[in-house]
Structure 1
Amino acid sequence: MAEVPQSTAELAAVLEQPVDLNFQLPDPEDEEILEYDFQQIMDNAWQVCDRFDLQTEIWRGRILRIVRDREKKGGDGRGTGFLNWLKLREISKSQAYSLIELANSADTLLAEGKLDPDAIRNFSKRAFIETAKSSPEVQQLVTDAAQKGDRITRREVKQLADEWTAMSSELIPDEVKEKASSGTMPARFLAPLVKEMEKLPESHLKPLQQAVIDNPDVDTVKQVTSDARSLSKYLDAAAQVQTLQHGAVDMAMALEEALRLDCLNTAADLVKQASALEQTVGKLYTTWKRLGSLSDRLYVDTGASTPNLRSLLNCIDRLTSEVIEVPLDDTGEQVVRLRVMTDSNS
């Protein structure tokens, strides 16, 4: 790992040998350069910039961390010195802590021995950040690939993460895992299925798993993933709709019927919209009460000397009375009228 210069002389020596980013880029109008060669030149230049950017930001994060920690120890307790330091360098607080997080991730991977310092150059900046956010198992897979010299982009991180998710999950039947291992079933289709099935209670998993076992192909996995997503939405929304809790409806049987008729997605959206409407009505009632209270207070504080405020109250009265009137267009030809009726305990 590169060492931080300790003296002015050392710093000057480092600055005398700057990183040379003076690429010989091709002329975009040069038709003699084959497309493959052109893409290769541009990709190589991009990778160098990516590596340089990553290394720079890791070191900036380390610098910011040290400045922050010193301020914590000897500052005013409010971080004023650190914030002033950022302001002078035109760095926002969120940017600073993002860089510090990147440096912390790099140092953790290095300290745990998962990553050799030289292997960092095999990462793109975004890939490194994604790796740092991943589970320890995925980190190990990614860093092993980087140690071997593989180029690591976000695509490789996602691919390895999907493979781990699919192969480590107990929700995926063994028959399907075997296909994933052999490469006949891409893991990228199984990872979304795992994430959706993890949201479901165990009682609803077996039919989904059996469907994948019966037809272990990509189309079936996609369909089962969609069904699992709709089922999750259905169950979540049904638990929140108070109207259903007071009604004589067997939600389990309704679910079975929706599955049988292949209209689960429609049923799930129906229940979700019912939940949204209930919440909207509750918010409407609370806002209506608050508006009425404010209108009453302002009416008490006004009189003949404030005709404009009285005019304002007269206009607002259409929203504070028992019947709420709201025009749907600028002409006022279409009006929605809602009557607020509450019990005596309101």
Structure 2
Amino acid sequence: MVQAPQLPTNLAPSDSEPFLDLGFQLPDPEDDQILDLEFQQQIETAWQVCDRFDLQTDIWRGRILKTVRDREKKRGEGRGVGFLNWLKDREISKSQAYNLIELANSADTLLDSGCLEPEDVNQFTKRAFVETAQAAPEVQQMIGDTARKGDRITRREVRQLSDDWTAMTSDLLPVEVREKAADQTIPTRYLAPLVKQLEKLPESHQVSIRDAVAQNPDVDTLKQVTSEARYLSRYLESATQVQALNNESLNLELALEEALRLGCLNSTAELVSQAAQLEQAIAKLYTTWKRINTLSERVYVDTGASSPHLRTLLSCLDRLSSHSIEFCLGDPKGEGFSRTIRLKLDDDQEASDVGTWE
């Protein structure tokens, strides 16, 4: 468990205190007698105290949230509705809650593994702690050793150690590059992004990129192949998601080779990525359109001559619920930039089945 910070006895919270007094005084920004160095030191001290409390508070919030979630999961009904209502009452989003739970789990993992002692947590900034939890076990151990010495751990130190470890140990990098990283001829910060992208690629593409780096082990080559690997991964990931590309006459690998040969890999990867997003947008638009139709029919049945304004509302929405959807993009009055977008939606199956676009 993370130990609570030692506070003066007069800092215990009470109903009369609007916030917790952390016991330090901020320098007067208008006092010209305070030297810049002294001013910065006082500010840095105050900031570190706040950073420490922020980290410990979020860890405990994560533990609290996890406790409530597990309780609701065991005894609650309605697929976690109780937990979601608990979050809603406290104005906490679901994503924020699970980020805090992840932070708490990371803290418990680091403490249980022996990488950190409870008092070592005070040496971390919040972002550094999160980075440490995501690092390799060997990096966590090195960072833990540094924290035990009483050194301040920031995100920069964690990233530097992670980059150094990646550069020295990753088999995805050629020996020539690892040697240059060891003698500091090549900064390790250029190697970690390349390894991250190479891990997403099939072995055949990894080999070609490694060969290119081995032939020219310099910073410019690393930047170029890292960018190329990023576009390759985007192309390969998006291509499998695009239904329009499920064509027997299409060879994705050969198309990729041609894009590489012509130097248009960036544009091709972006094209495929946008196609995937368009198909997802079409599916979402279709389901939303079906939902509007269902709700319109329900409201129409529940209304009559006594509700002319509701009928007018339904009439206005007819251009979105009919098979011919019409929407004005831009200024609806046509005084500025405007375009009228018309889409025709035809369903070739029964009303409850997924339709096709024409």
Q: TM tier, shorter chain?
A: 0.7 to 0.9
Matched with 2:173 is 172
3-state SS in 1 of match to 2:237: helix
Distance 1:166 1:233 in 2: 24
1:166–1:172: 8 Å Cα contact kept in structure 2?
yes
Say if 1:148 and 1:295 are closer, same or farther in 2 by CA, change over 3 A. closer
Aligned to 1:315: 316
Q: Shift in Å at residue 245 of structure 1? A: 0.9
The reply to whether residue 339 of structure 1 matches residue 333 of structure 2 is no
What secondary structure, in the 3-state scheme, does the structure 2 residue paired with 1:240 have?
coil
CA distance in 2, matches of 1:170, 1:298: 63
Q: TM-score under structure 2 normalisation?
A: 0.70
Q: What is the RMSD of the two structures over their aligned residues, measured on CA atoms?
A: 4.4
Partner SS for 1:331: coil
Instruction: Please state how far the C-alpha of 1:262 moved relative to its aligned partner.
Output: 1.8
- Cα distance per residue 1:214-237 (max 9 Å; x no partner): 221222212211111111111111
In structure 2, the residue matched to 1:292 is 293
Change over 3 Å in CA distance of 1:319–1:175 after alignment to 2:
same
Give the secondary-structure state (helix, strand or coil) at the position aligned to 1:340: strand
In the alignment, is the contact (CA less than 8 A) between 1:115 and 1:143 conserved in 2?
yes
**Residue deviations 1:161-208, cap 9 Å, x none?**
122223222111111111111112222221111111111111211121
**Residue equivalent to 2:15:** none
Question: Partner residue of 1:220?
Answer: 221
> What's the counterpart of residue 138 of structure 2?
137
Aligned to 1:280: 281
For 1:15, the aligned partner's letter is T
SS at match of 2:290: helix
Higher helix share: 1
Q: Is the 8 A contact 1:64 1:96 kept in 2?
A: no
Give 5+ residue unaligned stretches, structure 1: 5-10
Please say if residues 61 and 101 of structure 1, whose CA atoms lie closer than 8 Å, have aligned partners that are also in contact: no
Give the 5 Å matches for 1:166-205.
166-205=167-206
In 2, Cα distance between the equivalents of 1:27 and 1:93? 37
Is the contact made by 1:169 and 1:194 (CA closer than 8 Å) also made in structure 2? yes
Deviation at 1:289, TM superposition (A): 3.2
Partner amino acid, structure 2, of 1:284: L
Partner residue in 2 for 1:154: 155
Q: Sequence identity of aligned pairs in percent?
A: 57
Measured in 2, the distance between the counterparts of 1:2 and 1:251 equals 52
Q: Go from structure 1 to structure 2 and tell me whether the alpha carbon gap of 1:180 and 1:63 turns closer, same or farther (over 3 Å shift).
A: closer
In structure 1, C-alpha distance between the alignment counterparts of 2:61 and 2:318, rounded to whole Å: 57
The answer (yes or no) to whether the contact 2:2–2:119 under 8 Å persists in 1 is no
**Compared CA separation, residues 119 and 308, structure 1 to 2 (3 A):** closer
Q: Which of these residues, 1, 15, 25, is aligned with residue 9 of structure 2?
A: 15
CA deviations 1:124-152 (Å, max 9, x no partner) are 45434433443321111112223344332
Within a 5 Å distance, the mapping from 1:1-346 to structure 2 comes to 15=9, 35-36=36-37, 39-40=40-41, 42-43=43-44, 46-47=47-48, 109=110, 112-115=113-116, 122-246=123-247, 248-328=249-329, 329-331=331-333, 334-343=339-348
Question: Which entry has the higher C-alpha Rg, 1 or 2?
Answer: 1
Moved more, 276-285 or 222-231: 276-285
TM-score normalised by the chain length of structure 1: 0.73
Equivalent residue pairs, number:
323
- Which whole-Å CA distance do the structure 2 matches of 1:17 and 1:306 have between them? 62
Instruction: Give ranges in structure 2 of 5+ residues lacking alignment.
Output: 13-20, 77-82
Q: Distance in 2 between matches of 1:56 and 1:284?
A: 42
Give me the whole-angstrom Cα distance separating, in 1, the residues matched to 2:3 and 2:295: 65
Secondary structure at the residue paired with 2:191? helix
What SS class does the counterpart of residue 287 from structure 1 fall into?
A: helix
